[in-house]
Amino acid sequence: MSSTQSMLELLSPYPPGWGGVLLSGALSTVMISLGAYLVGVLIGLLGATGKLKGNRPVLFVLDVYTTAVRAIPELILIIGLYYAGTDGLNRILLSLGLPAIEINGFVAAIAVLGIVQGAYMTEVLRGAILAIPVGQIEAASAFGMRPFLRFRRIVLPALMPNALPGLANLWMSVTKDSALIAVVGYQELALATRLAAGNTKHYFLFFLAAAALYLVITLLSNVVFGLLESRFRRGQPKTA
């Protein structure tokens, strides 16, 4: 069948085909997601500590942050932060007498998605820390562990099994939210697909291929998180 032949040619990874563009798009989707996820974990850890230990003003700021991010549509947040972030940075540079810079789309995407992830991460980690029996943390303090050692040896291992399902959900949502970056014009999988489809007029084929790539990312992540969870839950009694 000649149409099957031409489909394979269209999807081939070498220049006449668009497979290479899709694959490099998929790679940048994964890289953006990983970066944003790490930024999110950092913000989440700080936010969770702030929400549990902070004073009034800190609590208020964090409450506004998590509520706002969770109430505003992702698309609007991403576009707003993207423009506000690049614009704001350039204004600061201008006021310092420095020339304006063109912000790398990759860095901006990671920052924007990371800020969104951070809000959800704050809530997930806060819940997971609250689920740790207080006695364990008190015991660690009683042994004279300093906060950082206590976090590394006691809180983190106890927190992981509680937090992992939430963390897995967030990873899935960041890989899919990263498609929204296409709207501000950074070339990841969704935009690469649109480019390929628009150039060849084979819309159906390319969007289906992109969906398959996203599905592969999701299914692989499922396996990885399953392994992680069984590792962090080792030694725990199995529930029926």
Partner 1 sequence: MNFSWIFSYWPLLAAGAVQTVLLLVISVGFGFILAIGLALAQVSGPRWLKWLTRGYCTCLRGTPLLIQLWLLYYGVGSLLPLVPGLRGSFLWPIVREGFFFAALSFTLNYAAYEAEVLRGALLAVPKGELEAGRSFGMSSWTLLRRIWLPRAVRIALPTIAGEVVLQLKATPLAFTVTVMDLYAVAYKVRQDTLLVYEPLMVVTVFYVLLTLLITRAFKLVEAQVPARR
Binding mask 94-133 for partner 1 (x = CB under 8 A): ----------------------------------------
Binder of partner 1 out of 94, 218, 224, 231 (CB under 8 A) = 218
Does residue 14 touch partner 1 according to CB under 8 A?
Answer: no
Q: Min. distance of Cβ 211 from partner 1 in angstroms?
A: 4
Does residue 211 touch partner 1 according to CB under 8 A?
Answer: yes
Does residue 71 touch partner 1 according to CB under 8 A?
Answer: yes
Retrieve residue 61's tokens.
């700021």
Task: Considering the complex, state which of residue 122 and residue 193 has its C-beta at the smaller distance from partner 1.
Answer: 193
Retrieve residue 94's tokens.
């201008």
Tell me which stretch binds partner 1 (CB under 8 A): 37-45, 55-63, 107-115, 175-183.
Answer: 175-183
Does residue 31 touch partner 1 according to CB under 8 A?
Answer: no
Q: Min. distance of Cβ 188 from partner 1 in angstroms?
A: 10
Name the nearest CA neighbour of 122 among 43, 186, 57: 43
Binder of partner 1 out of 73, 133, 185, 237 (CB under 8 A) = 73
Does residue 233 touch partner 1 according to CB under 8 A?
Answer: no
Three-state secondary structure of the chain: CHHHHHHHHHHCCCCCCCHHHHHHHHHHHHHHHHHHHHHHHHHHHHHHHHHHHCCHHHHHHHHHHHHHHHHCCHHHHHHHHHHHHHHHHHHHHHHCCCCCCCCCHHHHHHHHHHHHHHHHHHHHHHHHHHCCCHHHHHHHHHCCCCHHHHHHHHHHHHHHHHHHHHHHHHHHHHHHHHHHHHHHCCCCHHHHHHHHHHHHCCHHHHHHHHHHHHHHHHHHHHHHHHHHHHHHCCCCCCCC
Under rule CB under 8 A, how many of the chain's residues touch partner 1? 36
Longest CA–CA separation in the chain, Å: 75
Binder of partner 1 out of 8, 83, 98, 147 (CB under 8 A) = 83
Task: Considering the complex, state which of residue 3 and residue 55 has its C-beta at the smaller distance from partner 1.
Answer: 3
Q: Min. distance of Cβ 10 from partner 1 in angstroms?
A: 14
Binder of partner 1 out of 9, 64, 80, 149 (CB under 8 A) = 80
Q: Min. distance of Cβ 162 from partner 1 in angstroms?
A: 19
Cβ contact 137:154 at 8 Å:
yes
Does residue 190 touch partner 1 according to CB under 8 A?
Answer: yes
Collect all residues with Cβ–Cβ distance below 8 Å to 24 and sequence separation of at least 6. Answer: 192
Binding site for partner 1 (CB under 8 A): 71-76, 79-80, 83-84, 87, 172, 175-180, 182-183, 190, 193-194, 197, 201, 203-205, 207-208, 210-211, 214-215, 218-219
